[in-house]
């Protein structure tokens, strides 16, 4: 009788714990209480307990100077207004604590992803697992089988009809939940070989269950970009890629028709009403009709007013910005709407003025450097996945403010980790050649 011995390294366990803690923090948002303006949540407590354990098992901590610089620039952006006006409020402290926590999570994740070349694959599969489970919960929440786990005010806000709700999983907003699921879709395209179509379809239903227009737009963007980026990075056959894009378009059109013809009447009414409001909004813009802020505003009109107001306020405070957590009150003074700008780029500009553009410029530089550098064929799949994720995040910034969210760090960590792994792989090849 054979005895099987499995050589499980402590570092491998540490990598899995670090990645699990990070991914769970993105999908689970259960706030217990507030401490000095900072929400103390289940995911933060879980990260505080698991991150040190994971680093202890990995046996080291890797710090990339780009991550430190990125965090410093964000902190400077959040703080410059308070510093110039000698206004050391609790918001300044809270903002810098958030930056510190985001940087800590990013460094732990970077350490885990650079432990081996398979670590990014581990991240992808854990994220896909969370996406599948969350999608099923979101679908059941949408049809009112599973509760929304939130207060009555949020439940009423998320009501689509008497029997339908916008599913949020364990997050506080449907758009943020849709973003997590779209990341799962990206990972599925590159790291799922069996049942890829089934898994993508289930996650797509989860995105639909959030009733997030942003989520649907991002889903179509990812599905179309996938074969195009593979054509460039993986040197795929162009004829096969064109056929694949054509089949994807046919599938999307067919799916939309199926939903429209045989879908529940509540879904059709809701979607038609949402897109009719968008069309009406653009008609008003074309005819230069003034939007009545005091009247009933559609989602598109509200977002337009918020973006326009954020730009105007940002230009008025172009040098120092208004400071972290001050954008809702600033926008309220000018428009009567107390919300953030729902645009990450405008949010950074409004918070830190011209200094708020520095983190975005650094990220753009790192991404462009990542693209132009030559890559090994062994990393073509990882590179393609990271490129699509970055483009997807760039599009997300137009619809959503992820300024204070730790997910802001994910794209830059993936870029730097892939670069590090490529460098280690190259060094390994050179050493092997020297030995021969």
Q: Are 113 and 126 in contact (CB under 8 A)?
A: no
Query: DSSP E strands: which ranges in 192-275?
Result: none
246-296 tens-digit pLDDT: 777 787 777 777 776 766 676 666 666 666 666 665 565 555 445 555 556
pLDDT class of 432 with cuts at 50, 70, 90:
low
- What is the rounded CA–CA span in Å between residue 406 and residue 264? 36
Task: Give the dihedral sign, CA 309/284/174/254.
Answer: negative
Report the half-sphere exposure of 321 (CA within 13 A, side-chain side).
26
H/E segment holding residue 351: helix 344-352
**pLDDT of amino acid 132:** 96
Q: Which structure tokens are listed for 53?
A: 């354990």
Q: What is the mean pLDDT of the chain?
A: 83
H/E segment holding residue 40: strand 38-41
Q: Are 25 and 76 in contact (CB under 8 A)?
A: no
Residue 197's nearest CA partner among 208, 189, 209, 206 is 189
Angle made by CA atoms 6, 7, 13, in degrees to the nearest 5: 105
Q: Kindly state the average pLDDT of the residues 167-171.
A: 89
Map residue 216 onto helix, strand or coil.
Answer: helix
Residue 65 confidence (pLDDT) above 60: yes
Task: Give the dihedral sign, CA 346/109/372/237.
Answer: negative
Residue 62 confidence (pLDDT) above 90: yes
86-144 tens-digit pLDDT: 776 778 888 898 899 999 999 999 999 999 888 999 999 999 999 999 999 999 998 88
* CA 25 from centre of chain: 12
Using the 8-state DSSP alphabet, how is residue 263 labeled? Answer: S
For the entire predicted model, the pTM comes to 0.89
């Amino acid at each position: 009788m054979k005895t099987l011995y499995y050589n499980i390294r402590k570092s491998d366990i540490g990598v899995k714990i670090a990645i699990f803690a990070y991914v769970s923090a993105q999908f689970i948002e259960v706030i217990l209480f507030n401490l000095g303006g900072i929400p103390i949540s289940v995911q933060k407590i879980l990260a505080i307990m698991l991150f040190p354990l994971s680093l202890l098992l990995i046996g080291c901590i890797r710090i990339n100077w780009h991550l430190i610089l990125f965090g410093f620039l964000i902190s400077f952006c959040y703080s410059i207004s308070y510093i110039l006006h000698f206004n050391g409020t609790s918001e300044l402290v809270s903002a810098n604590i958030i930056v510190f926590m985001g940087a800590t999570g990013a460094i732990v994740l970077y350490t885990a992803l650079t432990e081996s070349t398979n670590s990014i694959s581990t991240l992808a599969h854990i994220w896909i697992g969370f996406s599948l489970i969350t999608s099923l919960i979101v679908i059941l929440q949408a049809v009112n089988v599973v509760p929304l786990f939130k207060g009555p005010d949020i439940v009423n806000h998320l009501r689509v009809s008497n029997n339908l709700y916008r599913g949020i999983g364990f997050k506080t907003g449907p758009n943020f939940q849709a973003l997590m699921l779209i990341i799962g879709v990206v990972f599925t395209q590159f790291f799922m070989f069996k049942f890829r179509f089934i898994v993508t379809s289930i996650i797509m239903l989860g995105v639909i269950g959030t009733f997030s227009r942003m989520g649907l737009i991002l889903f179509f963007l990812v599905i179309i970009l996938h074969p195009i980026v593979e054509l460039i990075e993986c040197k795929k056959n162009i004829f096969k890629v064109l056929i694949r894009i054509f089949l994807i378009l046919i599938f999307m059109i067919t799916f939309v028709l199926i939903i429209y013809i045989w879908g529940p009447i509540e879904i059709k009414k809701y979607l038609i009403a949402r897109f009719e409001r968008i069309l009406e909004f653009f008609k008003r813009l074309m005819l230069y009709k003034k939007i009545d802020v005091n009247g009933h505003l559609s989602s598109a009109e509200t977002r337009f007013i918020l973006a326009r107001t954020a730009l105007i306020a940002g230009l008025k405070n172009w040098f120092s910005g208004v400071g972290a957590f001050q954008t809702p009150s600033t926008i309220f003074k000018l428009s009567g709407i107390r919300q953030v700008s729902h645009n990450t780029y405008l949010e950074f500009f409004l918070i830190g003025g011209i200094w708020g553009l520095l983190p975005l410029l650094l990220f753009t530089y790192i991404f462009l450097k990542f693209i132009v550098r030559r890559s090994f064929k062994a990393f073509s799949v990882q590179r393609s996945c990271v490129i699509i994720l970055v483009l997807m995040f760039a599009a997300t910034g137009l619809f959503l403010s992820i300024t204070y969210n730790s997910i802001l760090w994910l794209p830059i960590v993936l870029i730097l980790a892939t670069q590090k792994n490529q460098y280690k792989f190259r060094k390994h090849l050179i050493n092997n050649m020297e030995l021969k």
